[in-house]
A = this chain, B = another copy of it.
């Protein structure tokens, strides 16, 4: 135990660092940042064991990064406020341009051609000819989506191709920045002769870039 005089202060600061030091907690934060969820929904969406999800949520709550509200027998968690969301966005950007290993891991998982940034997409929304497709679940879509986007979950994509005009340029997105679903959708669309690209960062990237959540 070394102890310089400012240690109590830095110990407090380190609480935030500690909260961000676990892959599981970072994952939970990203999933929660998309929308409020119950513990069970969260555990399933994040792919983390239920008991572990609950345990990690206690730590995130101790660091005041998430808050919960009780409704009946369920507990709903959400990211504490907008500042947490913004800070997480900054952490992602900071880590991304600092760690080549992170960029490699992302590239290996997504393996998709370059996507459109949130800013580029915002500029295009005012023009016709761009069709934005939300490939998440209808529940996710209902909780908020890019203005003008249509809901078209990946599972239904092949059956509903006739709803998509051939000449449109399609931008597909899913939830998190590392979600592979939109990349898969782009692949399928490409096979059927469409021009399609992903939205970098997904819906979360869109919101973290301060873009509006359309109703």
Known contacts being A2-B47, A6-B178, A109-B5, is A99 close to B17, with CB within 8 Å? no
Count chain A residues whose beta carbon lies closer than 8 angstroms to a beta carbon of B: 54
Residues 1-45 of A at the B interface (beta carbon under 8 Å): 2-24, 26-27
Would you give the 0/1 interface string for A57-68, flagging 1 where the beta carbon is closer than 8 Å to chain B? 000000111000
**A34 to B: closest C-beta gap in Å:** 13
CA distance A121 to B13 in the complex (A): 26
Interface of A is mostly: helix
CA distance A99 to B17 in the complex (A): 12
Q: Assess the A6–B83 pair: CB atoms within 8 A.
A: no
**Interfacial chain B residues near A65, Cβ < 8 Å:** 98
**Interfacial chain B residues near A2, Cβ < 8 Å:** 24, 47-49, 52
**Interfacial chain B residues near A19, Cβ < 8 Å:** 17
**Interfacial chain B residues near A180, Cβ < 8 Å:** 5
CA distance A101 to B180 in the complex (A): 40
CA distance A87 to B16 in the complex (A): 13
Q: Assess the A13–B92 pair: CB atoms within 8 A.
A: yes
